[in-house]
A = this chain, B = another copy of it.
Amino acid sequence: MSGNQDIKVSVDAVVFGYESKKYLSVLLIKRGVEPFKGGWALPGGLVLNDESLEDAVERELKEETGVAIDYLEQLYTFGLPKRDPRNRVISISYFGLVKPNHFKIKADTDAVDAQWFNLNELPELAFDHQLILDTAHQRLKSKLSYQPIGFDLLNDEFPFSDLENLYMTILEKEIDRRNFRKKMLSFGIIEETNKIEKIGSGRPAKLFKFNKNKFKQLTVNDFHFEINFV
């Protein structure tokens, strides 16, 4: 019952980014060692003896990709005996989001081969990483409806159309713009700035801001965020 357990502990992160009006992206790294050398995988690695799981994820992300993360939560722990072909390694997976601002991959690191992939054009992934990714994608889809995490995929100030498009892209649904805006604003957690963004053609858009503090206040008094459309 003790002494001879031989299991390694690793963390892996599924980090999503959103390119305005386009698609979801996922952060992957090219493996430099066997197994699956040269293949693509989620950023991650073994946990050090004296660091917390969260610290491990953040360290690995920094080392392997240099990307700064805006939202991070634990996803699920994958532990089938054969998920790593060599040793037994269980993986505590994390789910992360980054704002477009923080997309930049720094090249000053070990495993230089970090890259954003369109979620619809993924390469084959090492280990059970496709399963982990699917789990994260599922989590993103469902959380979007009952927690205001979408804002961590947008810059601090954003035009309303970005928010609309984000929801439509992730939920893979058409959403009525008027109803969406009405409901979003009704929560009272989005503020209008007095800035205006002019890009491309068409009428310039007002910029809005998510008021995180307001949201936290409301949450205390059994306030419920929910966005659900047919």
Contact = CB atoms under 8 A, between A and B. Distances in A.
Interface residues of A, number: 26
Contacts of A90: 9, 47, 53, 92
Contact of A74 (B45, B49, B53, B77): B77
Q: How many copies of the shown chain assemble into the complex?
A: 2
A88 B46 CA distance: 14
Given A74-B77, A76-B74, A49 B7 contact: yes
A147 to B, nearest CB: 12
Contact of A88 (B1, B49, B74): B49
Nearest to A142: B146
Contacts of A5: 8-9, 46-49
Interface of A: 1-2, 4-9, 45-53, 74, 76-77, 79-81, 88, 90, 92
